[in-house]
Amino acid sequence: MIPVRGYQDRKVGVLGLGRSGMATAHALRAGGAEPICWDDSPDRRAEAEADGFAIADLTKDASWSGIAALIVSPGIPHLYPTPHPAVTLAQSHGAVVDNDVGLFFRSFATEEWDMMENPPRVVAVTGSNGKSTVTALIHHILKETGRMVQMGGNIGRGVLSLDPGEDGEVFVLELSSYQIELARALTPDIGVFTNLSPDHLDRHGGMGGYFAAKRRLFAEGGPSRAVIGVDQPEGRFLAAQLRERESDGDPVIRISNGKLTGDGWHVFARKGWLAEWRRGRQVASFDMRDFRGLPGAHNHQNACAAYAVCRSLGLNPRDVEAAISRFPGLRHRCQIVGEKNGVRFVNDSKATNADAAEQALRAFSNIHWIAGGVAKEGGIAPLLPLLDRVKKTYLIGEAAEAFAATLRDTPHEICGTMVAAVDAAQKAAIPGDVILLAPACASFDQFTSFEARGEAFEALVANILAAK
């Protein structure tokens, strides 16, 4: 755990008592603060109270006497669409409003670092799609090459649950727009921006607010190196803002799913090959087409981002290539979970919007596509041009009827449940086909999370693989 600094002997409100909230409460107590906890869930309040934490209703004015700050969990709105009542009260009482990421960056560096030859470094990864894979891949490469590394944030452990940094260690953090937007301190050594697509727009007041939240990691965080995906206007804008000069010392490494030119530092994927260019010359390249853990062009771009970070940390190209080739893939992200009678089963439950589902559809052909859940704005209309890759679509969840209307005369079946969809797809599939779960939807109509949805798919596939 990383004890929180700066609030010793002071009361600090903790709003939200899930994974990050409880980690925050423990880290505050370890740093000498007095956490005052609240969650709208009675069960979570009871668990925190059993763990020795004080509980007070932070939505009531009377609870705010002497509280210096309010630490807000990522899922709780602090501005749009409507601030949580506790946030409004904190502001009216003049309390600081922050989150665990802000506390991490203000508490991470300690006096012991003065004695270290290579103080710990922080890599922070953000973007709409791919950030979990990039984070996990960087962590994998560093472990494979013998570097000390910890991973946390929006994946794995909460940032304040991580262990204090050691000499030469690297911390790899996945940070969502929710986490970046509210953090009062942001000081990563390397920042990564993968891409931007419409998501969480109600929480950010539209695309402009969403991009502004992501941009804070770079504009206010001031990383010494920025790895920026430039296949979209927002990435190109951000790279141009951060660039200082076209030379080997440029703080920006541009990444792309197409060839890049210029005298800067570029890493791009083209036809399954990764290439690194610096000062107008190719430095390294290798073939990723047989890397089982990274199927599809979108994963090749994820590999470019991870490669660029590891090169910035001093690793040589061949060691990075070898480590990437051994990456097993990330669960629920274009994960090949099995194969039987020439039919592959792929779990991409994390494809919770159309842009993410598009990448999965582009990665395969002869697809039996399982889609549906709680629809995002725009539904699956943007995916219609890719239906030539799909043999049939199997629709589940509350979006099934609307998606069926969008699909019109293309082959589809309203299955309703995951069980029915997997059963129908596996009966129709022939050797060479792919049964792909890429819902293009949130999961909350039938499942508690995208992980639970993916686990349900995996369990059904396991039964199919085990059957004679």
Residue set of the binding site for ATP: 127-133
Rounded CA-CA distance 259/275 in Å is 9
378: number of Cβ within 10 Å = 13
Name the nearest CA neighbour of 125 among 163, 94, 162, 151.
151
| Residue located via tokens 């005369």 | 409
Rounded CA-CA distance 71/296 in Å is 39
The reply to whether omega before 81 is within 30° of 0 (cis) is: yes
Both structure tokens of 149: 């590394």
Rounded CA-CA distance 318/145 in Å is 11
| Residue located via tokens 């946030």 | 87
Q: List residues bridging with 193 in a β-sheet.
A: 126, 228
Hey, CA dihedral for 151, 155, 160, 162, is it positive or negative?
negative
The CA-atom distances, in angstroms, between 259 and each of 95, 175, 274, 362 are 49, 28, 10, 19
Rounded CA-CA distance 96/184 in Å is 9
Rounded CA-CA distance 408/319 in Å is 49
Rounded CA-CA distance 399/414 in Å is 10
Please, is 418 exposed, middle or buried when counting C-beta atoms within 10 Å of its C-beta (0-12, 13-18, 19+)?
Answer: buried
Q: Which of left, alpha, beta for 80 (phi over 0: left; psi -120 to 50: alpha)?
A: beta
Is residue 268 a contact partner of residue 297, using CB atoms and an 8 Å limit? no
Binding residues: 127-133
